[in-house]
Amino acid sequence: MIAPGFTGGLLDRSDALRHDAEAFAAAASDFRAKLLKLDGYDPEIDAEGRLAWTSIAERADDAELVLLGLENGRPHFAAYTPGMGPPRGRPQRLFAMLDHLAPGEAATYAAARSVLDWHARHQFCANCGTQTALFRAGWGRTCPNCHAEHFPRVDPVVIMIAEHDGRALLGRQPAFPPGRYSALAGFLEPGESIEEAVAREIMEEAGVRVTNVRYVASQPWPFPSSLMIACVGQAEDDAITLDTNELEDAIWVSRDDVRKVLANEPGPFLPPPPYAIANTLLTEWAAD
């Protein structure tokens, strides 16, 4: 199976350093330490498609360090600057960059973007409202008032196709580029299994009942911080009842059509981009 986008990270996350304040301080003062170069939340990329890094001495005076991990013992950091705000809308410029990143680089960026965005969104304690402070090498926030500890969250999302008679069900949202169709998706709800979420979302969005849900792969999605869980479910029939609040259209496509569009040949739809796990899911399904 091809590796989903945003996976294959090259850094050792070095959990032991997160629990050792002295070791973290030593890593932060290591002359070899590298700091991820960001333009807002977007990465700077060199001519070889690799993330750009700079000396840790180049960080802003009020920046706080988040340890991304080690590579051959060399610390790699991202910097959280108080006042950073989450970007609005879909980062189209970034999406254009993702196809050009070297293998493993997108995974490092995904971790950095997600944790920095979490810090920007969680400045205050959810328990008492007091402003919190970074701790655990930037992978948590602690409250000086009630001493509650808060950690970055990951939101699970099911992304799936229904299969019927050798065809896959795909949908499109109004925000998609013209002609693009992709797998259906939705957040898991409390008290729900992955299989139940897949069946519910397909029924809600397309009116198709599925059973025999099987897992295919997963992918971190750092916009802002989701875990995409790709699945396939067996549809009982092919009648579509569209929820127009969720989807603009839905279609059934054959394996031959999927193979064609994935090979950049003309077909009835444009596929999701290679870095999206929907592309991985369709690739695996088309290979039968």
Q: How many helices (H) and strands (E) does the chain have?
A: 7, 15
Residue-wise burial string across 10-27, b where 16 or more C-beta atoms lie within 10 A, e elsewhere:
ebeebeebbeeeeebeeb
Does the domain at 155-286 match CATH 3.40.50.2020? Answer given as no
Tens digits of residue pLDDT in 21-33: 999 999 999 999 9
Which contacts qualify for 134-143: CB closer than 8 Å, 24 or more apart? 134/64, 134/66, 134/80, 136/18, 136/19, 137/17, 137/18, 137/24, 137/65, 137/66, 137/67, 138/64, 138/65, 138/66, 138/67, 138/78, 138/80, 139/18, 139/66, 139/67, 139/115
What pLDDT was estimated at residue 107? 95
Residue with tokens 């259906």: 184
What pLDDT was estimated at residue 87? 66
**Average pLDDT in the 231-254 region?**
97
Alpha helices for 170-265 (secondary structure H): 194-206, 255-262
What pLDDT was estimated at residue 78? 97
Cα–Cα dist 84/272, whole Å: 30
pLDDT at 102 over 90: no
Question: CATH assignment of 15-150?
Answer: 3.90.79.20
**Residues forming CATH 3.90.79.20 domain(s) in the chain:** 15-150
pLDDT at 283 over 80: yes
Tens digits of residue pLDDT in 63-74: 999 999 999 999
Work out the percent of the chain whose per-residue pLDDT is above 90. 86
pLDDT at 91 over 70: no
What pLDDT was estimated at residue 96? 82
What pLDDT was estimated at residue 40? 86
Q: Please state at what angle helix 255-262 crosses helix 277-286, rounded to 10 degrees.
A: 130
pLDDT at 154 over 70: yes
Cα–Cα dist 199/233, whole Å: 8
**Residues forming CATH 3.90.79.10 domain(s) in the chain:** 155-286
pLDDT at 230 over 80: yes
Q: What is the mean pLDDT of the chain?
A: 94
Which residues have CB under 8 Å from 199's CB, separation 6+? Answer: 209, 210, 211, 213, 233
Tens digits of residue pLDDT in 11-56: 999 999 999 999 999 999 999 999 999 988 889 999 888 999 999 9
Amino acid at 251: I
What pLDDT was estimated at residue 106? 94
Work out the percent of the chain whose per-residue pLDDT is above 70. 98
What pLDDT was estimated at residue 288? 81
Cα–Cα dist 118/112, whole Å: 10
What pLDDT was estimated at residue 49? 87
